[in-house]
């Protein structure tokens, strides 16, 4: 619901506002003021992010025999710290860190997050819960739009743009989609416009419905939590197909960096090619 207000501004400020109006992205003065206020009050992004860092990282052995996946270094920082950098770039400092395998080492390293410029709450798995199960553990903390990110990928996404896309489509879940040259090793999105119809798992290149894959980064609404069954559950198989059938699952293609570090080969590539979080985002 919107309300009409009257304000008085210096003519120079009015001129700057008019300079922002392009008739497309920014429609008029009121829209420009609304966007500026949203950014200043940090209402243009979700305020909380959940990082999934509970996996065993079996494909990264022998590294993960002694180091939890979230503490594996890339260019002098842990994978988790690079994700912190992404969130902090947009003023998101309230982090829920889902931990399981060697979780004590992660807690010992990050503590309450103060040294890293964030505020950390831990969701501790006593048994493996997949990518969806941990969200049930912190249900009481997720009362508004929130971000979920896999903890073993490096990504550079314009979160305000993705959040705007999410709200404009009235989505319950929006998945950030990245483009790969060979989608045969991933789940590939089949789309109708921006709506995701399904993911086709590991198709042959010539049969792939697109080259857009799930990047492991989502914006979700609290209603999604009601679809998660108890115990071990995967967003990809237990939740997203249900949302797709409801027409409430959307895909946000982005062109920023994305590196999967789930295997030793991909991890080596990330070390060599990752350029850090950009100043301007995607």
Domain ranges of the chain: 10-41, 45-273
At residue 54, the 3 state secondary structure works out as: coil
C-alpha of 170 from chain center: 17
Q: Which of 270, 258, 261, 77 is nearest to 179 (CA)?
A: 258
pLDDT tens-place string over residues 88-126: 999 999 999 998 888 889 898 999 999 999 999 998 888
CATH architecture of 45-273: Alpha-Beta Complex (3.90)
pLDDT tens-place string over residues 220-260: 999 999 999 988 988 988 999 999 999 999 999 998 889 88
Decide if pLDDT at 1 tops 50: no
The whole-angstrom separation of Cα 241 and Cα 236 is 7
Active site residues: 202
The whole-angstrom separation of Cα 50 and Cα 114 is 17
């Amino acid at each position: 619901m919107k309300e009409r207000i009257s304000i008085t501004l210096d003519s120079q400020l009015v001129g700057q506002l008019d300079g922002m109006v392009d008739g497309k992205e920014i429609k008029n003065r009121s829209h420009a003021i609304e966007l500026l206020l949203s950014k200043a009050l940090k209402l243009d992004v979700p305020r909380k992010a959940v990082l999934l860092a509970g996996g065993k990282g079996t494909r990264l052995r022998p590294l993960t025999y002694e180091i939890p996946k979230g503490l594996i270094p890339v260019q002098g920082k842990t994978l988790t710290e690079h994700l912190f950098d992404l969130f902090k770039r947009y003023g998101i400092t309230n982090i829920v860190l889902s931990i399981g395998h060697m979780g004590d080492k992660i807690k010992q390293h990050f503590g309450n997050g103060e040294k890293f410029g964030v505020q950390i709450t831990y969701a501790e798995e006593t048994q493996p819960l997949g990518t969806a199960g941990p969200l049930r553990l912190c249900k009481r903390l997720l009362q508004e739009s929130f971000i979920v990110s896999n903890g073993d990928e490096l990504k550079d996404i314009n979160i305000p743009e993705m959040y705007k896309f999410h709200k404009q489509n009235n989505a319950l879940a929006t998945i950030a989609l990245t483009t790969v040259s060979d989608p045969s090793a991933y789940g590939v999105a089949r789309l109708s416009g921006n709506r995701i119809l399904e993911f086709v798992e590991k198709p042959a290149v010539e049969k792939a419905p697109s080259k857009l894959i799930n990047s492991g980064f989502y914006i979700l609404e609290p209603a999604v939590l009601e679809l998660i069954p108890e115990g071990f559950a995967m967003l990809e198989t237990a939740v997203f197909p249900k949302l797709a059938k409801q027409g409430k699952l959307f895909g946000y293609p982005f062109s920023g960096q994305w590196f999967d570090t789930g295997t030793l080969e991909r991890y080596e590539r990330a070390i060599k090619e990752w350029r850090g979080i950009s100043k301007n985002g995607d």
